[in-house]
Amino acid sequence: MKCSLKWLRQYVDISLPPSDLAKLITAAGTEVAHVEVIGGWDNVFVGQIAVIEPHPNADRLRLATVNLGAENVTVVCGAPNLVIGDKIAFARAGANLLDGHTGEKIKLKPSKIRGVLSEGMVCSEMELGLSRSHEGILVLPPDAPLGARLADYMGDVIFDLEVTPNRPDMLSVLGIAHETAALTGAAVREPNLDFIPAGRSIDESISVEITDAQLCPRYCAGIVTGVKIGESPRWLKDALTASGVRSINNVVDITNFVMLEFGQPLHAFDYDHISRSKIIVRLANDGETMTTLDGVERKLTAETLIIADPDRPIAIAGVMGGATSEVTQGTTAVLIESANFKPSSVHNTQVRLKMPSEASARFERSIRAELALPALRRAVQLMIEVCGGKAAEGLIDRYPGRKDAAAVLLTTSEVKRILGLDVPPAQIEKTLVSLGCKVARVSENSFEVIPPYWRSDLRLNADFIEDIARVMGYQSIPDTLLSGAIPHQEPNPMLGLRLNMRQVLAGFGFQEVITYALTDRPTLEKGMNSPLSPEPLHIEHPMSSEQECLRTSLRGNVLAALAANIRREEGAIFLFETGHVYLPKPGDLPVEPEMLCGVLTSTGSEKVWRGRKEPVDFFDTKGAVEGLMAALGVGVNFVESQDPGLRLGRQAAVIAENKFQMGVLGQLHPRVTQAFDLPDNTCLFEINADVLLPLATGTMHYEPLPKFPAVMRDLAVIVGEGTSHSQIVRIINGFSLVKKAVLFDVYSGKQVAAGNKSLAYSLTFQSADHTLTDTEVDKVLSAILKKLADELGATLRS
Amino acid sequence: MDIKTQLEELKAKALGELAAGGDGASLEAWRVRYLGKKSQLTEILRSLAGLSIEERKEVGALSNTLKIELDAAFKIAEETLLARAASSADAKDTIDISLPGRPFPRGHLHPVCQALGEISSIFTAMGFQVLEGPEVEWDYYNFDMLNMPKEHPARAATDTFWLDAPPNDAGWKMLLRTHTSPMQVRTMEKNRPPIRIVVPGIVHRYEATDATHLSMFSQIEGLAVDEGISMADLKGTLHEFARRFFGTDRRVRFRCDFFPYVEPGAEMAVECGVCRGDGCRLCGGSGWIEVLGAGMVHPNVLEGVGIDSKKYSGFAFGMGIERIPLLRAGVEDIRLFYGNDLRFLRQF
């Protein structure tokens, strides 16, 4: 809502500077987003054209003598609309103007034009920054005070208010005046609504029928005959321009003016085009059509509330008028509608027809039905004054949905309970009265309060309490800390697990990313390299095809993030994300398991001295998962797996406590690396944190420190290529004196027979009850060797 | 040779060897030779057994003096050697200490997660429990129970991603939650006051993405309900949060604002950290930065979950997280947070 300070001042005295008033209104709940100062025209004055003479050296230029009251000046002027006697805006040298052609800021300098000195300039609207019009000079009204500073005469300040959905009153200049009055302690001068009717009784001219009091609680109408359609007077045009509304003709402008003034949308019908002198407010029939003011034929539905005459629809209630009853140049009799419609009905129609308007914005915010009559009176009064018509005797006022605002009982203790501030009863009363409420004292500490007719948001105790607080200013409420008992807390272990995982991985060098929960099917499919099962949840009206559904896997998005980064830098990149995936569940909300997905890749070797040289591989990935799980205190092992997104033979399922599969890791399937344009060696791990959660209990197991020394021995064995490290280690660990077996070398090549490989282990022997002797250890070592030979065909590498 | 002479000779020899210099190993050998358990000095002392008491006294005193002298000489030699080894001028294997260190990989937590964690822990310290709720919600929790029945203008104004899924048996429709506030309702349905919770999480708005808007962002919600909770508690608690999070010297400002699920409603702004209230580009010239929306829980919301609004009251607040690192670090484009460009993320 754009509100002119000049207009506002007609109803309330304002002594504050505009920027201070803006701050006050903002603090009280309606943000003044912008304060625009119109004017700032130093050295521009109201002048009058006294003499026009031809320019001695140019056919298209003229010399004008401008009377400034105290003196006459001569200017060179090229404007076509120069007329003797017209009041104009005259700029002296030094005035700050906009260039009439480029729109850039300029400072006017005295200049000679074709040999004649011009002492200033007669300004166009564009040069004054009033509009884009540079057709001719701005002609001021004849009553413009000669010699006055233009800024005093025409300057204004426009407040641009961002009105919250609960305050339709702030979509009106009067509402803003009431707000200003309450905040500054001033009083409001409401406009005079009197007029003298001169026509015949309105009941002889029109009858109104409302079919549904819920949809149309009130319908008021007035008729003005003998109007002359024409251009609006300057004051009316200026008022509309200040609020950003285009001037159409005097009748339409008056309806808009009153809407801006009272917040009550009005509609003017050409009375002579209403058939059979009857208006019916009803729901449209399915398939009924009408052409709206914008010339578009609209198909109506049974949910659309319309204004109709007995023959056809003539307007869509609260949204837009119809073309057949439009006020045109030929109109002589006008029916003014000032009605109240159900907010949701107007909203739904406006959304369905995609026709939001100034009117619908007010109805949707649920304006009070009480506004209809005063706004109508104002419109009739102005139409007589501006359009020269005669008002019919009486006004139509059908009010089947009348619901008077209920009085609310407010106590000082309730105010104290909610605000935490003792507000004296007298101040409560004074504050509410300043807002326009009717306040009746019930007892020393309680009141009955009735909200003013322009406020639709004051219904409950809390609403009035907010108004007391915001008028006093929130700064008057003290700051206290919660004093009650701290409630019991239920543990939320996922928070701790997630934080642990994230910190451990960041410590390993992984960068955390957050990708969008919304994605598209191709990205999901490419990431998993398999058809989607289950089918993800889709968005009803996606904003773009890239965000059509909810992810069922993190892989696609994380791989896409990796691909984007690998294009920008060489070396190793490790990324991870923890987040939800959304698995549909029939008839209910989806299940949202918490997933962890890490990706690792490298291109080239890191171009850093002493940086990482080897390309990232499966064992980096496995190491990360092993390290993570060790940090979480979860024992894991790895078994062969068959995830379609990973390369067969280079992937493993992550098993916790030998039974819970909680994830998978491995090198990406070539189709996946290809789809995302990633290096072949890119690896991934994926852990379901919901499965991990009950296992990652953080319980620590204590083992007493050894009392007897350990004995170290190395053991290198040669086995067939097909024999795995885990087979060997399982046998070695089967011997009770073996405390630890660490693999330190894997070799296959010239020094071992083809088809064989050598694995070397560093073994630690230790006993809990005595110091081991060399003989004892040698005995165990040969037993190990024998078992390895018997079961795996292993031989000692010599 | 009498013992005195032996001691004299021993002293001369030992000090002479020490003066000749040598490295750490020869010094250690010297120590073993002259001061160790099997040293000549020890042998001399051992031979005292055969002497008279007088002689023993004299020789004992002499040999003790010698031991002290040799100890002192050893310490000086050791110091000299260490000092020489440590002085780089002497060392042959100097290194270019300006070369970079061997890199340790360093990962970073996402700035949004960092901010969420920090904020959560501040409220945890004030007795709030951290809860999380579903990101896919019913309109019942996201709107209806938050005083935004169907066709409520505020509800219509909230641009929502609706899901292409049938309504449930109660007629509730599925959507991506537009705020973390549904957890207020879910929590109050299951728990009676006193309640103190904060709810961090992802939310969605059907909004075109630009430098200051995202269709997905993170929020943290707070709720406290009990007997006697007032707007003063709201102000005090949030002011305390701002002091701990933004710094104790930053001023805060509350103004009236509207949210359907609170009344009175408020917005909290913090003094701009860049210009300290003078007005700059970051704060749009106002000197203040809007940080969160808040208010006293609307009586309709309390009554909706069966909490007596005449007995209990409470406050709620919600803040967008992306704005916080944005404001702290002066990031100009909010889209960077989910663009996952490492050049950006590594700065946090």
> For position B113, what pLDDT does the model report?
92
User: Chain A within 8 Å of B125 (Cβ-Cβ)?
Assistant: no
Structure-block tokens of residue A798? 């010599």
CB-CB under 8 Å, B196 with A463: no
Q: Which of A96, A658, A622, A578 is nearest to B110 (CA)?
A: A578
- Measured between beta carbons, the chain A residues lying within 8 angstroms of B260 are 165-166
Q: Which residues pair with B262 in a beta bridge?
A: B297
User: Chain A within 8 Å of B263 (Cβ-Cβ)?
Assistant: yes
CB-CB under 8 Å, A469 with B129: no
> For position B39, what pLDDT does the model report?
81
Residue A111, classed as helix, strand or coil, is strand
Give the mean pLDDT of A444-449: 96
Structure-block tokens of residue A547? 């965000």
- Contact map slice: B 151-210 vs A, CB within 8 A: 151-154, 156-157, 161-166, 168-169, 174, 176, 191, 194-196, 202, 204, 206, 208
Q: Which of B299, B149, B230 is nearest to A459 (CA)?
A: B299
User: Chain B within 8 Å of A593 (Cβ-Cβ)?
Assistant: no
Strands (DSSP E) contained in A392-504 are 396-398, 408-411, 438-443, 446-450
Between chain A and chain B, how many beta carbons pairs sit less than 8 Å apart? 260
C-alpha angle A25/A28/A31, rounded to 5°? Answer: 55
- Contact map slice: A 138-177 vs B, CB within 8 A: 164-167
Average pLDDT of chain B? 88
CB-CB under 8 Å, A164 with B257: yes
Q: Are A528 and A644 in contact (CB under 8 A)?
A: yes
Q: How far apart are the first and last CA of chain A?
A: 92
User: Chain A within 8 Å of B122 (Cβ-Cβ)?
Assistant: no
Q: How many CB atoms lie within 10 A of CB B80?
A: 13
Q: Which of B75, B76, B45 is nearest to B61 (CA)?
A: B45
State the virtual CA torsion across A71, A74, A75, A77 in degrees, nearest 10. 110
User: Chain B within 8 Å of A459 (Cβ-Cβ)?
Assistant: no
Taking each helix axis as running N to C, give the angle between helix A555-566 and helix A521-528, from 0 to 180 degrees, rounded to the nearest 10.
80
Q: Which residues contact A732 (CB under 8 A, 6 or more apart)?
A: A715, A738, A741, A761, A763, A784, A788
User: pTM to 2 decimals?
Assistant: 0.85
Sequence length of chain A is 798
> For position B154, what pLDDT does the model report?
64
- The H or E element containing residue A792 is helix A774-792
Structure-block tokens of residue B62? 């002499």
State the virtual CA torsion across B268, B269, B271, B275 in degrees, nearest 10. 170
Structure-block tokens of residue A527? 């990431």
CA distance B78 to B85: 11
State the virtual CA torsion across A142, A143, A149, A151 in degrees, nearest 10. -90
User: How far off is chain B from A654, nearest CA to CA, in Å?
Assistant: 23
**Residue of A589, A594, A609, A616 to mutate, testing the B interface (most B Cβ within 10 Å of its Cβ):** A589
User: Chain B within 8 Å of A399 (Cβ-Cβ)?
Assistant: no
Q: Are B292 and B252 in contact (CB under 8 A)?
A: no
Strands (DSSP E) contained in A557-633 are 571-580, 583-585, 588-591, 594-603
CA distance A358 to A33: 19
User: Chain B within 8 Å of A571 (Cβ-Cβ)?
Assistant: no
User: Chain A within 8 Å of B73 (Cβ-Cβ)?
Assistant: no
Percent of all residues in chain A with a pLDDT value above 90, rounded to a whole number: 75
Q: Are B289 and B327 in contact (CB under 8 A)?
A: yes
- Measured between beta carbons, the chain A residues lying within 8 angstroms of B226 are 482, 484
Of B107, B194, B255, the CB nearest to A574: B107
User: How far off is chain A from B90, nearest CA to CA, in Å?
Assistant: 28
- Measured between beta carbons, the chain B residues lying within 8 angstroms of A491 are none
CA distance B214 to B291: 17
Q: Are A532 and A521 in contact (CB under 8 A)?
A: yes
> For position A607, what pLDDT does the model report?
66
Of B127, B236, B296, the CB nearest to A479: B236
> For position B3, what pLDDT does the model report?
75
User: How far off is chain B from A480, nearest CA to CA, in Å?
Assistant: 4
Our measurement of the distance from residue A276's CA atom to the centroid of its chain's CA atoms, rounded to an integer in Å, reads 48
CB-CB under 8 Å, B129 with A492: yes
Phi, psi dihedrals of residue A177, rounded to the nearest 5°:
-65, -45
Q: Which of A771, A796, A628 is nearest to A715 (CA)?
A: A796
- Measured between beta carbons, the chain B residues lying within 8 angstroms of A574 are 105, 107
Of A419, A480, A513, the CB nearest to B340: A513
- Measured between beta carbons, the chain B residues lying within 8 angstroms of A483 are 228, 233
Q: Which residues pair with A743 in a beta bridge?
A: A761
Structure-block tokens of residue B141? 């929790």
- Measured between beta carbons, the chain A residues lying within 8 angstroms of B151 are 343-344, 347-348
CA distance A612 to B63: 62
Q: How many CB atoms lie within 10 A of CB A467?
A: 25
Which residue of chain A comes nearest to B252, CA vs CA? A475
Q: Are A327 and A268 in contact (CB under 8 A)?
A: yes
- The H or E element containing residue B185 is helix B182-190
What is the residue-level pLDDT of chain B in tens, covering all 348 positions?
Answer: 677 788 888 888 888 888 887 777 888 888 888 888 888 777 777 777 777 888 778 878 888 888 888 888 888 888 888 887 776 555 566 788 888 888 888 899 999 999 999 999 999 999 999 999 999 999 999 999 999 877 776 676 668 999 999 999 999 999 999 999 999 999 999 999 999 999 999 999 998 888 878 899 999 999 999 999 999 999 999 999 999 998 888 899 999 999 999 999 999 999 887 788 888 877 778 888 889 999 999 999 999 999 999 999 999 999 998 877 666 667 778 888 888 999 999 988
B146 DSSP 8-state letter: G
Q: How many CB atoms lie within 10 A of CB B4?
A: 13
Which residue of chain B comes nearest to A515, CA vs CA? B338
Q: How many H helices and E strands in chain A? A: 20, 43
Of A365, A537, A565, the CB nearest to B165: A537
C-alpha angle B95/B98/B102, rounded to 5°? Answer: 85
Phi, psi dihedrals of residue A63, rounded to the nearest 5°:
-105, 125
Peptide bond into B325 cis (omega under 30): no
CB-CB under 8 Å, A348 with B204: no
pLDDT band at A20 (very low <50, low <70, confident <90, very high): very high
CB-CB under 8 Å, A514 with B112: yes
Structure-block tokens of residue A529? 């390299």
> For position B88, what pLDDT does the model report?
54
Q: What does R_g of chain A's alpha carbons equal in angstroms? A: 42
User: How far off is chain A from B163, nearest CA to CA, in Å?
Assistant: 4
CA distance A265 to A245: 13
Q: How many CB atoms lie within 10 A of CB A749?
A: 9
User: How far off is chain A from B306, nearest CA to CA, in Å?
Assistant: 18
Strands (DSSP E) contained in chain B are 129-130, 136-138, 174-176, 195-204, 216-227, 252-256, 262-271, 288-297, 312-320
> For position B326, what pLDDT does the model report?
61
CB-CB under 8 Å, B345 with A513: yes
Q: Which residues contact A385 (CB under 8 A, 6 or more apart)?
A: none
User: How far off is chain A from B25, nearest CA to CA, in Å?
Assistant: 30
Average pLDDT of chain A? 92
C-alpha distances out from residue A326 to A277, A319, B11, B289, Å: 16, 14, 129, 48
Residue-wise burial string across B156-182, b where 16 or more C-beta atoms lie within 10 A, e elsewhere: bebebbebebeeeeeebbbbbbbbbbb
CA distance A153 to A38: 11
Which residue of chain A comes nearest to B262, CA vs CA? A462
Side-chain-side CA neighbours of A170 within 13 Å: the count stands at: 21
Residue A46, classed as helix, strand or coil, is strand
Structure-block tokens of residue B155? 């509800």
Strands (DSSP E) contained in A123-186 are 139-140, 156-162
Side-chain-side CA neighbours of A572 within 13 Å: the count stands at: 23
C-alpha angle B127/B133/B138, rounded to 5°? Answer: 135
Sequence length of chain B is 348
Taking each helix axis as running N to C, give the angle between helix A493-507 and helix B111-125, from 0 to 180 degrees, rounded to the nearest 10.
140
> For position B52, what pLDDT does the model report?
80
User: Chain A within 8 Å of B97 (Cβ-Cβ)?
Assistant: no
- Measured between beta carbons, the chain B residues lying within 8 angstroms of A365 are 153
- The domain limits of chain B are 3-92, 112-345
**Residue of B255, B309, B312 to mutate, testing the A interface (most A Cβ within 10 Å of its Cβ):** B255
CB-CB under 8 Å, A487 with B136: no
CB-CB under 8 Å, B157 with A165: yes
Give the mean pLDDT of A424-434: 96
CATH of B112-345, one of 1.10.150.120, 3.30.390.30, 3.30.930.10, 3.40.50.10800: 3.30.930.10
Q: Which residues contact A724 (CB under 8 A, 6 or more apart)?
A: none
User: Chain B within 8 Å of A247 (Cβ-Cβ)?
Assistant: no
> For position B273, what pLDDT does the model report?
77
Tell me the per-residue pLDDT of A521-570, one tens digit each, with 9 for 90 and over: 999 999 999 999 899 999 998 989 999 999 999 999 999 999 999 988 88
- The residue type found at A756 is N
The residue written with tokens 């508690």 in the block is B233
**Residue of A475, A510, A514, A577 to mutate, testing the B interface (most B Cβ within 10 Å of its Cβ):** A514
Q: Are B228 and A484 in contact (CB under 8 A)?
A: yes
Give the mean pLDDT of A70-89: 87
CA distance A73 to A61: 16
SS3 content of chain B, % helix, strand, coil (to 5): 45, 20, 40
> For position B243, what pLDDT does the model report?
93
C-alpha angle A550/A553/A558, rounded to 5°? Answer: 100
User: How far off is chain A from B103, nearest CA to CA, in Å?
Assistant: 6
User: Chain B within 8 Å of A689 (Cβ-Cβ)?
Assistant: no
CA distance A316 to A326: 13
CB-CB under 8 Å, A608 with B240: no
Which residue of chain A comes nearest to B194, CA vs CA? A487
CB-CB under 8 Å, B165 with A584: yes
Q: Are A708 and A766 in contact (CB under 8 A)?
A: yes
